[in-house]
Amino acid sequence: MMAEISIVVPAFNEAEGICAFLKQLDSALSGIDSEIIVVDDGSRDGTWQAIKSQKENYANLSAMRFTRNFGKEAAILAGLRHAKGRAVVVMDSDGQHPPSLIPQMLEIWREGRAHIVAAQKTSRDSDSLAAKANARIFNSLMKLTTGLDLSGASDFRLLDRRVVDALLEFPEKVRFFRGMTVWTGFSTVNVGFEVPPRIAGSSHWSTSQLAKLAVIAITSFSSRPLGLIFRLGLLGIAASFLLFLQAIYSWATGIAISGWTSLTVVILLFGSANLLGIGVLGAYLSQIFEEIKRRPEYLVGETL
Ligand code: UDP
Ligand code: MG
């Protein structure tokens, strides 16, 4: 069976909402030749049992379960690898990506208007204040360092087969789906949607996880921070030359002892600039480390 469209759904600890989500999805897909691929990202609640219980209700449903939690990026990748459709839709399993949008996205693709149909968040009303602030910081950091504008962008997107095949050819292990699809440069049409609240449960993203994602997203997309350190170093050299002249002058005029405050400031400033620079190098080094190990992105325990 080669479906027109594959729906790839990562799920982590969604036991309470996944059945309701599948129902929503199924009714949105009525009359559309589709397959649904749920990737259980090592859930520790009853998500897998819930998916299994739905197997008989939906003939086009297949699923796999990771041996442990490998993260959403790995789950998306696994889904893309298994998808057979001529187009693939990636979406969350918590109801925050409304399935009712799929027919509209599909129509745009069918008309040949775009290779990528990206669902854009028009409002974040259901997000907490902290989540909104995190998203804003993340997006401006991305814009600053990589030039990619991801504000409003979500992982909810339809990809033409050509885009999927292109993404699957990327050899890298550490992935950032949202940015990579933009990077491919295929023609894109945006569709707006309001983010509904979760069907059940709460978001899995903590601020520290989001910070980690930001480091991955930036270091895997741009080496601009390395160039920034270099420029910072040049600036430091210029500043220290001026200070050098001042020191010589103080020595020559016999007032050398009075420089304690400026000395402390200089040491603190350059000490922390050094640490910052080493930190940025470390982020790239760990990125190289992750890539060079060539480990599989995930391991599948069971399939359905
Ligand atoms: N998810 C996943 N693995 C994880 C974390 C999340 O597959 O380690 C899935 C989750 O089940 C949901 C989607 O990714 O379908 C988005 O997660 P979440 O709702 O927690 O993120 P948010 O909507 O707050 O960005
Ligand atoms: Mg969510």
Rounded to 5°, the CA angle 35-40-42 comes to 165
Per the model's pLDDT, the better-predicted residue between 81 and 131 turns out to be 81
- Give the confidence band of 125 by pLDDT, cuts at 50, 70, 90: confident
Residue 1: pLDDT above 70?
A: no
Query: Ligand 2 center to residue 205 CA distance, Å?
Result: 9
Q: Please, which residues have CB less than 5 A from ligand 2, an ion?
A: 94, 96
Query: Ligand 1 center to residue 90 CA distance, Å?
Result: 12
Contact 25, 96 (CB under 8 A): no
Query: Ligand 1 center to residue 272 CA distance, Å?
Result: 36
Report phi then psi at 254, rounded to 5. 75, 20
210-242 per-position pLDDT tens digit: 888 888 888 888 888 888 888 888 888 888 888
Q: In this predicted structure, what is the pLDDT of residue 164?
A: 98
Q: Residue 79 is which amino acid?
A: G
The residue whose CA has the least distance to atom 8 of ligand 1 is 71
Q: In this predicted structure, what is the pLDDT of residue 98?
A: 96
> Average pLDDT of 125-131?
79
Spell out where 148-291 has E strands: 153-160, 188-194
Q: Residue 115 is which amino acid?
A: H
> Average pLDDT of 105-127?
92
Q: Residue 25 is which amino acid?
A: L
Using a 6 Å CB cutoff, which residues line ligand 1? 10-12, 14, 41, 69, 71-72, 75, 92-94, 96, 203-205
Tokens of 142: 């991305």
Contact 211, 141 (CB under 8 A): no
> Average pLDDT of 27-52?
96
Between strands 153-160 and 87-90, the pairing is antiparallel
Which are the contacts of 76, defined by CB distance < 8 A and separation ≥ 6? 8, 10, 39, 90, 155, 175, 177
Closest ligand to 13 CA? 1
pTM (2 d.p.): 0.88
